[in-house]
Amino acid sequence: MSGNVDKRDRAGLFRDRLSQAMAEKAMTQSGLAREVGVDRSTVSQLLTGQGARLPNAQVVAECAAALGVSADWLLGLTERPERLADLLATSLTMTEAPRALIDETIFGWHQEAAGYKIRHVPATLPDMLKTRDMLRWEYEPQLGRTAEQAIGASEDRLGLMARSGSDYEIALPSHEIESFARAEGYYRDLPAAIRSAQIARLRDLYRQLYPALRIYVFDARRVFSAPVTIFGPLLAVLYLGRHYIAFRDSARVTGFSAHFDWLVREAELGARDFPTFLDDLARQNGL
């Protein structure tokens, strides 16, 4: 709502919204007076007074706190009655993340976004496209016996993808998959047999699922992205390692979507070129 509202109109809006909030809270004038620390006659005046006079800031703030709404909403400065802390609590959450990105929280987000386009920048290779041997090599040292459960969850998510009607776009930095193929860095000591089978699985799944699955390869020396997943218009999730930060407000989700679009525009390889890229990697590294 515009800040250039006539004082008389704003005072009338304050009275209307105060009355509305009291009704929704089932709070009487006497009850509000006790919460605010004023006489009942003061509350009555707030509700029935005439003219352009508004109560002082302290009274407005106490009324807002007692009724669980924002002072800005009572004064007509916003159309959202929620307090800022409540808005932040619903629009931004931080949850603990396990070692593997194949847990129930992530799976639930995928289910929630069924039918929407899901965009993903993985921390390593995309978990749901990995072979069982690859998942064991990567996660068994940390997860122990629960690694099999994580593997099952990864396969469940791949199955969900195939039947959910969602399109999946994945942006992958070229150095990640090249390091994998060469067994360098993070993938040091990864046996050649596992790498060969993993490339074959990527190739086979891509042929089965394209164009519902599209993978773009970008040069991280030119453009960069932290691990992030954008679940349609619903939410965007950053992966920090120990935690996920999930954003649900539309402005933030739109911002993350624009970031992903930028990665795709700047990609070295388009989605059609990914199978050829895999074949070249396998040939160059004897896989």
Asked if residues 221 and 173 have their Cβ atoms less than 8 Å apart, the reply is: no
- Stated as kind and residue range, the H or E segment containing 256 is helix 250-265
Residue 249: band (very low, low, confident or very high) from pLDDT cuts 50, 70, 90: confident
Report CA 8 to chain centroid distance, whole Å: 42
Q: For 180-203, what is each residue's pLDDT tens digit?
A: 999 999 999 999 999 999 999 999
Bigger pLDDT: 91 or 207?
Answer: 207
Q: Kindly state the DSSP code that residue 227 receives in the 8-state scheme.
A: S
> What is residue 2's predicted lDDT score, i.e. its pLDDT?
45
> What is residue 3's predicted lDDT score, i.e. its pLDDT?
47
> What is residue 145's predicted lDDT score, i.e. its pLDDT?
59
Whether residue 86 is predicted with pLDDT greater than 70 in this model: the reply is no
Bigger pLDDT: 150 or 108?
Answer: 108
> What is residue 87's predicted lDDT score, i.e. its pLDDT?
53
Decide: helix, strand or coil at residue 93: strand
> What is residue 268's predicted lDDT score, i.e. its pLDDT?
94
Whether residue 44 is predicted with pLDDT greater than 80 in this model: the reply is yes
Question: What is the Cα–Cα distance from 279 to 207, expressed in whole angstroms?
Answer: 13
Q: For 88-125, what is each residue's pLDDT tens digit?
A: 555 667 787 765 545 677 778 888 888 899 999 999 99
Whole-model pTM: value is 0.69
Whether residue 133 is predicted with pLDDT greater than 90 in this model: the reply is yes
Integer angstrom CA distances of residue 276 from 9, 85, 98, 207, 214: 66, 50, 34, 11, 14
Locate 247 and state its tokens: 């954003």
> What is residue 224's predicted lDDT score, i.e. its pLDDT?
94
Long-range contacts of 187-193 (CB under 8 A, 24+ apart): 190/137, 191/137, 192/286, 192/287, 193/133
Decide: helix, strand or coil at residue 78: coil
Lowest mean pLDDT, pick from 207-221, 235-249, 267-281: 235-249
Segments of 103-249 assigned E as strands: 118-121, 168-173, 213-218, 228-231, 235-239, 243-247
Whether residue 282 is predicted with pLDDT greater than 90 in this model: the reply is yes
> What is residue 144's predicted lDDT score, i.e. its pLDDT?
63
Per-residue pLDDT, averaged over 25-32, amounts to 93
Asked if residues 35 and 110 have their Cβ atoms less than 8 Å apart, the reply is: no
